[in-house]
Amino acid sequence: MKKIYYLLVCLMVACTLTTFNSCSSEEEEELIDETTINKYKTAIVGTWLRDGSKEYWRFDAMGSGSVAYGENWDADEDVHEGEGNQFQWYINSNGLMVIYKIGDAYEDPDPEAPFTIKSITSTKINWVTSDGYQQSLTKVK
């Protein structure tokens, strides 16, 4: 009887450890703090060119912007040009949220951030898209 009791206790301990280990081994979300959010909000304002492409991103201080490819973007124009696909943006603890304008309205954002910002400097942004692609952008204005 003691052997059965001992085996049951061992089995329960093993199951408990397995449960806790499987919970901690799941990919945990990377959340950013309020100080970092404010730093990113300031640093992201401007016009950026995605490295290795002709894709321009413009972020305005008031949370609007546009994105377009080179043939649809005149880089010599004012930074407030309306060219490209318009969007609204904000940064929260999950990352950079971009809400694209479709027709006359903005579509509802995906609950997961489209971009996880890894770093922003005065000249460079590094982010990972929601589908896992790493991208770098260089500031042009």
- Over residues 25-63, the pLDDT tens digits come to 344 455 678 888 888 889 999 999 999 988 889 999 999
The 8-class DSSP code of residue 39 comes to H
More confident residue, 102 or 2: 102
Pairing of strands 85-92, 55-59: unpaired
Contact 96, 89 (CB under 8 A): yes
Residue 82 has, within 13 A of its CA and on its CB side, a CA count of 1
Contact 29, 22 (CB under 8 A): no
Is residue 139 pLDDT above 80, yes or no?
Answer: yes
Query: Domains (ranges, CATH) in the chain?
Result: 34-139 (2.40.128.370)
Mean pLDDT of 5-14: 50
Tell whether the torsion through CA atoms of 41, 125, 66 and 134 is positive or negative: negative
Percent of the chain topping pLDDT 90: 17
Total-model pTM: 0.67
